[in-house]
Amino acid sequence: MASHARVASPTGPFRRDDKVRKRPEYLSIYKRAAPMYTARLVFYACPGAGSRRRLGCTVPKVVGDAVELNRLKRLIREAFRRTRERLPEGCVLVVNAKRSAAGMTLEDVLMHFLDVAGRLDREGFRTCGT
């Protein structure tokens, strides 16, 4: 067996259908959902069409160079993949990184995701008055 062979994940891979991809969809989520702040990340969660849980993430350039931006995006996707079963069914989640998110580890990101999953479980989806 080759050393680069993929190992099957118990929670499944992060597929193209799991992503929020288009700008109008991001804007719609920002308009409909109230932000949930954590120390280094901002989460926007709202119900989507269907039962699939989806993720969008944005990381501003102030976080670091391209290597750091891409690393943080990979960590966010992995944390979502590991915690998606704890999120409400049909949840569309957009994560915005703050400047202080530079240097986060997977454990840090997972902690933030678990916090938000708990909030959504207790409070449900919150919407702005707009």
What number is the average pLDDT over the span 81-101?
A: 92
Distance in angstroms (rounded) separating the CA atoms of residues 28 and 46 = 10
Q: Say how many CA atoms lie within 13 Å of 16 toward its Cβ.
A: 1
**Sign of torsion over alpha carbons 61, 102, 45, 81:** positive
**pLDDT > 70: what percent of the chain?**
87
Q: Are 52 and 88 in contact (CB under 8 A)?
A: no
pTM, entire model: 0.85
For the stretch 20-44, pLDDT in tens is: 989 999 999 999 999 999 999 999 9
What number is the average pLDDT over the span 77-94?
A: 92
Per mean pLDDT, which range of 49-53, 82-86, 87-91 is the poorest? 49-53
Burial of 64 (0-12, 13-18, 19+ CB in 10 A): middle
pLDDT at 94 over 90: yes
The count of other CB atoms within 10 Å of the CB of residue 69 is 19
35: β partners: 44
Which of residues 126 and 19 earns the better pLDDT score? Answer: 19
